[in-house]
A and B are shown apart, each in its own frame.
Chain A
């Protein structure tokens, strides 16, 4: 039996350990993404650009809210500043209230209520400072493998992913899968099905309807995955994610060979080395995407905007 490498993480008051200690600056709508970026740059926060939050109908309203709330309650997030415009469909104030009800450290700033963009940036930088003071970064402590929630983004049946999933399940980690729509088999068929924003049970889980491509990462982060491992298909590219390290494993295809600098692992890396790499990244090593500052956050969408 192989031994498991040590995982060093941050204990959270609610019990789930994180592998990063981020203050998330969360724009509730595309219109507040620039201000959010400026707040994050002027403080120690992280933020991201997205195109959502208004003009949604039907399931998209609920789903986008679940995505925001799920990602903001991921254990890698120590606190969240919600940045609202004020008139949007996905109301920033509602997101903040719901996060607070879930026990998160949260603040809210609105452009329309604070006097404009510059004022919101100034106020927001102060509020991130409050969150940092409220939740200072603790020392890393030993995390048992059963507290690892590993997100796996791979095509159904990818043999490298299957081998890694088996390894993680052997170690008693919780595994969350997300994949393209289509027929499931192997671990993808065996997994308990959860929807975007649900917390997984221990063991094997799969987020259904998690969209396409890097949208899968939102479903994995919203399920509480601390680390995501991604096996992009041969013609596709690796992506980072705003608040979870994403470890990308190349296929042997021509494109991946040509952009190998954007991958963490080559195509023939033994499973045990990838498993060790996950522990190392969990414990603080930066992924290629983290070094590039790659901070995507693509919410799966159901319908056109109105």
Chain B
């Protein structure tokens, strides 16, 4: 039996699991304005980021893609963009093209930050009341786009939470939905297993390439990835090597076919399971998947972590019952019952799928209750010259 799914229908054909009013700074200098606006207006979400739009920044296009993609994520019912001057109206134009409700204010048109707060407040009231007209309607499972994430993993992650989330992801993609398996650093060593599941030789090549490209990029910089992976908490949690971490992390992607490989934040042109080029940094990874349209995140953890997304509900699935008991405010769903012998992996996988539907329908996650809205760009070259 397929459970009933109720989502917000968007004019670009995508579906929202939430109907956020987002206040988005288009550059770091606008973060103060957006923070104040979010504090003064209940029910809106804002983000803080550190992009200054300095001429010559080689990552500028990548970051612009994230800003536009986040503003037009189907979970966003309306967006107020705060920019520097008229040139930033480009972002508003891009977002409007997708049918998004957009308001825009520039610091330079309002005398600076205080003026922009005044103008922005009025604009916000207008778009928020328009977004409030939206309501949930019956939606197909193909309307779900699931971002798969793991953070603060331990030795249980690869045998409980990750494979359970993988089963849920398979159930979703078998029913027409879309999933993203990201965090390339945490797929190193598992790439051949993934390539064997590609729907075509070309996709298999793309999978091998995206993993090797990441490894080579780090190697050419003369740094050893193993300095940061596994992270200190992973090691304390019993993970011994990067490859061991990867084989466990890849389990989030289930066992089904892989239909394509996406660049960071790139929107998929087909449904099904995709691999996305993101780092293992949880916030940068989730930000990339949300940019590409993920409207719900399944996030497994062994040690416990509070982070969420400004727009996508983020479900924390614990790999062990101990962490779910010690950190109950951080965990939504305990997959540790698998090793406790209480439930089978298959049964827990099905329960995770059902939980995804509940959250998609509006059930609040722990991260939403906490107000966790972390946001970070995955840069390629943060230290350019000139």
Contacts and interface: CB of A to CB of B under 8 A. Distances in A.
Interface of A: 30-35, 49-51, 54-58, 61, 85-89, 91, 111-112, 115-119, 180-182, 211-214, 235-240, 255, 258-262, 292-294, 296, 298, 300-306
18 contacts: A31-B306, A35-B306, A55-B279, A58-B227, A86-B233, A86-B304, A87-B232, A112-B152, A115-B329, A116-B306, A212-B52, A239-B29, A258-B107, A261-B115, A293-B32, A303-B383, A305-B281, A306-B280
A30 B306 contact: no
Interface stretch (B12-20, B340-348, B354-362, B373-381): B373-381
A34 B306 contact: yes
B134 interface: no
Which residue, of A30, A34, A117, has the highest number of chain B Cβ atoms within 10 A?
Answer: A117
Given A31-B305, A213-B52, A292-B32, A85 B152 contact: yes
Contacts of A214: 28, 52
A58 B231 CA distance: 14
| Residue of B57, B152, B385 ringed by the most chain A CB atoms within 10 A | B152
Given A55-B185, A58-B221, A304-B381, 11 more contacts: A34-B372, A51-B49, A58-B222, A86-B304, A112-B233, A116-B327, A235-B55, A258-B109, A258-B111, A304-B279, A305-B279
Contacts of B246: none
B382 A88 contact: no
Contact of A255 (B108, B222, B227, B379): B108
B112 A116 contact: no
Interface string B248-288: 00000000000000000000000000000001111110000
B29 A237 contact: yes
B382 A61 contact: no
B229 A116 contact: no
B330 interface: yes
B210 to A, nearest CB: 14
A302 B383 contact: yes
From A33, A51, A91, A180, residue with most partner B Cβ within 10 Å:
A51
B113 A85 contact: no
Contacts of A236: 52, 54
Given A34-B371, A112-B303, A260 B112 contact: yes
B318 to A, nearest CB: 12
A260 B113 contact: no
Given A33-B374, A34-B370, A304-B380, A116 B113 contact: no
A143 to B, nearest CB: 30
Given A115-B326, A116-B328, A304-B380, A31 B109 contact: no
B50 interface: yes
Choose among B32, B35, B306, B330 the residue with the greatest number of A CB atoms under 10 Å from its CB.
Answer: B306
B233 A111 contact: no
Contacts of A87: 152, 231-234, 236-237, 303, 305
A111 B279 contact: no
A294 B32 contact: yes
A294 B112 CA distance: 13
B104 to A, nearest CB: 16
Contacts of B132: none
Given A34-B374, A235-B55, A261-B111, A57 B382 contact: no
A50 B279 contact: no
3 closest A-B pairs by beta carbon, nearest first, are A87-B233, A261-B112, A55-B281
